[in-house]
Amino acid sequence: MKYIFLVCIFYITDLKAQNTYSIDYTQFGQSNILINGQYKEYELKSRLIYNDTMSFYYYVTGKNDEHRNATVLGDKLIHHGLMYNRNNDKLLHEVAWPKKKYFVIVDSSRPYKWIFNKERKNILGYNCNLAYSVSQTNDTTLVWYTNELGNLFGPSFYFGLPGIVLEAFTQQYGRHYLATKIEKSSTILVQPNVKKIPINEYLEHKKNL
């Protein structure tokens, strides 16, 4: 029992020792709702929490963010929460369906193949490099990332670059993510202790909903 207690103390201390940051984003875009012949524009707030090995991305809903002062994230499921673990290169996507049923989807695919460009710009005082990706449907995605904040995380599915993504833009759908605030965080990230299913199993289940 004493040995188990010491192991737990060491594990928690090790988690707290990691460099943890919080980045707030504003997402702009056009919905699929037509009003007077024009698509309705929207604006969403989201947040990325990351440390040396993991990241957790979620949307901020309402005026009050119940997760802003959370000491631990990942233990409670959040609809459309995204957790990426660089150690095993796995992405966990949390999805809620009617009747409050949650699915945690395990996905190891890389949706983007990045091409690096020599263009540079500054975002919130950080020097950023440009990378882009062209999909099979000819949709071009542009991202600005900085290697001054470590790691390879970003908002939504924009990860795997040699730095933190501070801005992203998709031409076809007009989605635009822009970092608005960066600060140190004391939040501890943990893996959700729930059943996880592979992406192909989830897609099959989705057909029957």
> What's the confidence (pLDDT) of residue 86?
86
- For 94-130, b/e burial (b = at least 16 CB within 10 A) is beeeeeeeebbbebeeeebebeeeeeeeebeebebbb
DSSP 202: H
> What's the confidence (pLDDT) of residue 2?
39
CA distance 27 to 176: 5
> What's the confidence (pLDDT) of residue 74?
80
**Is the CB of residue 116 less than 8 Å from the CB of residue 131?**
yes
Grouped pLDDT means (10 residues each) for the chain, 209 residues: 36 53 90 62 88 91 64 79 86 73 69 90 97 89 94 87 94 88 92 76 68
Residue 90 one-letter amino acid: K
Strands 126-134 and 140-146 come out as: antiparallel
- Cα within 13 Å of Cα(145), Cβ side: 24
41-46: list long-range contacts, CB under 8 Å, 24+ apart.
46/155, 46/156, 46/177
> What's the confidence (pLDDT) of residue 129?
97
**Is the CB of residue 208 less than 8 Å from the CB of residue 92?**
no
The structural domains of the chain, with segments of one domain joined by +, span 2-207
CA distance 186 to 22: 9
Q: Which two tokens stand for residue 121?
A: 């710009």
- The CA distances from residue 79 to 114, 135, 207, in Å, are 28, 26, 19
2-207 topology per CATH? outer membrane lipoprotein receptor (LolB), chain A (2.50.20)
> What's the confidence (pLDDT) of residue 194?
73
> What's the confidence (pLDDT) of residue 5?
35
CA distance 121 to 31: 29
CA distance 120 to 47: 24
Residues whose CB is less than 8 angstroms from the CB of residue 42 and which lie 6 or more positions away in sequence, other chains included = 27, 28, 29, 30, 31
